[in-house]
Amino acid sequence: MSGKMIEVRWHGRGGQGAKTAALLFAEAVLATGKYIQAFPEYGPERMGAPVQSFNRISEEPITIHSGITNPQYVVILDPSLMDSVDVTDGIGKTGKVIVNSTFGAEEIAKQLNVDKSQVFVVNASHIAVETIGKNIPNTPMLGALVKVIGGLDIDAVLEDTKGKLMAKFRHKPEVIEGNLSSIKRAYDEVKN
**Residue 168 confidence (pLDDT):** 85
Query: What are residue 7's DSSP bridge partners?
Result: 56
177: number of Cβ within 10 Å? 15
Between 150 and 17, name the one with better pLDDT: 150
Of 21, 4, 179, nearest in space to 98 by CA:
21
User: How far is residue 110's CA from residue 134's CA, in Å, rounded to a whole number?
Assistant: 29
Contact 54, 37 (CB under 8 A): yes
**Residue 2 confidence (pLDDT):** 47
| pLDDT band with cut points at 50, 70 and 90 for residue 33 | confident
Contact 13, 46 (CB under 8 A): no
Residue range 78-111, pLDDT digits in tens? 999 999 999 999 999 999 999 999 999 999 999 9
Task: Check whether 16 has a pLDDT greater than 60.
Answer: yes
**Residue 50 confidence (pLDDT):** 87
Task: Check whether 63 has a pLDDT greater than 90.
Answer: yes
Contact 80, 74 (CB under 8 A): no
| pLDDT band with cut points at 50, 70 and 90 for residue 44 | low
**Strand order across the beta sheet in which 35-41 lies:** 35-41, 50-58, 6-13, 73-76, 96-100, 119-122
Of 152, 191, 155, nearest in space to 2 by CA:
152
Residue range 127-168, pLDDT digits in tens? 999 999 999 999 999 999 999 999 888 999 999 999 988 888
